Amino acid sequence: NLSFAKGDRARFDEARLDQASFESGSFAEASFAGAAGEYTILRKAKLDRARLGKLRLVRSIADGVEARGADFREAWLEHTLFYEAVLEEARFDGATLDESGFARARVARASFAKTKARITVWLWADIAEADFGSADLARSFFNGCEGLRARFRR
């Protein structure tokens, strides 16, 4: 449990994060490349510009996380809920987000190129200027989203 921790630029590469809790700490520019966890909780953690490529989280929650400009490329985030998360300008290119949810999340100007986001639920999310151009959004559901200039074409 890392509550109120200061871990800016820390390295969690390849770490096991099962049932780990990162609450209200600062992990800006930290690296989680290749880390994996199930039932991981990220609550109000600051992850701006963090490197989360190839991170693997399943059945996890990111509640109130601030991850502006974070790199989630090729991450595996199945069955994960992003609630009131700030993910503006984040990169999800090549990530797998199947059966995940984005509720009241802010993903404006984020990139989802070649992302697998099947059966994903988007509720009251800010997706303005986000690029879903080559994403697989089969059976996904968007409700109440602000999508001004969001791109859905290849």
Cα 23 from Cα 79, distance rounded (Å): 20
Per-residue pLDDT of 4-46, as tens digits, reads: 678 899 999 999 999 999 999 899 999 999 999 999 999 999 9
Per-residue pLDDT of 73-131, as tens digits, reads: 999 999 999 999 999 999 999 999 999 999 999 999 999 999 999 999 999 999 999 99
Which residue type, as a one-letter code, is found at position 67?
A
CA-CA-CA-CA dihedral for 49, 123, 94, 44, to nearest 10: 30
> Residue 3 has what pLDDT?
73
